[in-house]
């Protein structure tokens, strides 16, 4: 690995730049055209590591085993999971079914984004945006519809800096696991129950708009699996994001009568499978705020800001 190129790649990635801004920043970092070509080659190898290291690909079972056991805040342990989150060839994980709909986790990171795209001014180490915090008693201005999903008297933005990783304000820090996809079948008999049967349906999985995340406990280990609706998704074939403003957000395909921005579906990935019946628990019906996550003084992770008025809402 070339340390300077690695450092530049990481520096640019953390800035979360738009396309034009990225190329401008790259010209500033590497003005020499030949060195830029070396950077392009390096970036290509980063994006296609499975070709150089086929044995590094994770199976679904291994992905589950690692995610359920590691301290996500320990970079050496987290690196074991990254091939399953970043490589072009990734495993998918059967999660559950509901009626005639099957759900799966397709691993990926950096789908969700903090409400504020400004890099936080803080004395604490800012974590990669695969780590984020959710404030469940803060309600962003958008989406403003439908009105029956707007809670009364909630702040639109958190402003109080967190002082520790055990802040009482409702919410938690998480590490993104990927996107929630669904396979809608006509009957239960059609639903695949094995990976082999699923091969015939590979092109039929559809996005749900939800992302799956691992809530982190104080030790950095998984402490629940949650679905969070992506209110600021990347546009198809683009690096641009667009804020959701329509009223049809957060509606699970198998439960059109429900609508929520965040819900718990289980304790750990090992709990799921083709024959696991889906249950949405701890649902938050109004939009929630996502914020940057930082390393706490005790070595854990905490939200960079929390709701200062939360006692009025609990």
pLDDT at 1: 40
DSSP 138: B
| Cβ contact 115:190 at 8 Å | no
Q: Work out the percent of the chain whose per-residue pLDDT is above 70.
A: 90
Report pLDDT digits (tens) over 198-236.
988 988 999 999 999 999 999 999 999 999 999 999 888
* Spatial CA neighbour of 79 closest among 90, 88, 66, 92: 66
Domain chopping of the chain, boundaries: 1-47, 58-312
Cβ-in-10-Å burial (0-12, 13-18, 19+) of 68 comes to: middle
* Spatial CA neighbour of 180 closest among 287, 98, 292, 61: 98
pLDDT at 211: 98
- Beta-carbon contacts of 121 under 8 Å, excluding residues fewer than 6 positions away, are none
pLDDT at 24: 86
Low-confidence ranges of the chain (pLDDT < 70): 1-3, 14-19, 44-56, 164-167, 311-314
């Amino acid at each position: 690995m070339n340390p300077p190129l690695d450092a530049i790649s990481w520096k640019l990635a953390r800035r979360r730049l738009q396309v034009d801004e990225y190329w401008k920043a790259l010209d500033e970092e590497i003005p020499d055209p030949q060195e830029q070509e070396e950077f392009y080659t390096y970036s290509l190898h980063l994006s296609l590591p499975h070709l150089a290291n086929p044995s590094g690909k994770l199976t679904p079972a291994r992905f589950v085993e690692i995610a359920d056991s590691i301290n996500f805040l320990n970079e050496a342990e987290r690196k074991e999971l990254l091939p399953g989150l970043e490589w072009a060839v990734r495993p998918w994980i059967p999660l559950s079914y509901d009626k005639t709909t099957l759900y799966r986790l397709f691993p990926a990171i950096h789908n969700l984004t903090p409400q504020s795209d400004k890099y936080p001014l803080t004395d604490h180490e800012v974590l990669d945006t695969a780590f984020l915090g959710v404030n469940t008693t803060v309600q962003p201005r958008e989406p403003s519809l439908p009105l029956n999903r707007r809670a009364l008297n909630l702040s639109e933005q958190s402003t109080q800096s967190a002082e520790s990783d055990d802040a009482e304000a409702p919410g938690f820090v998480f590490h993104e696991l990927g996107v929630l996809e669904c396979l809608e079948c006509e009957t239960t008999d059609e639903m695949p129950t094995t990976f082999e049967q699923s091969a015939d349906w590979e092109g039929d999985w559809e996005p749900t708009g939800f992302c799956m995340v691992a809530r982190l406990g104080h030790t950095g280990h998984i402490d629940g699996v949650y679905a969070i609706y992506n209110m600021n998704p990347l546009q198809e074939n683009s690096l641009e994001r667009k804020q959701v403003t329509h009223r049809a957000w957060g509606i699970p395909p198998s439960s059109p009568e429900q609508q929520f921005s965040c819900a718990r579906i289980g304790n750990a990935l090992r709990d799921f499978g083709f024959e696991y019946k889906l249950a949405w628990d701890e649902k938050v019906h109004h939009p929630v705020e996502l914020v940057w996550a930082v390393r706490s003084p005790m070595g854990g992770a905490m939200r960079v800001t929390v709701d200062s008025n939360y006692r009025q809402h609990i």
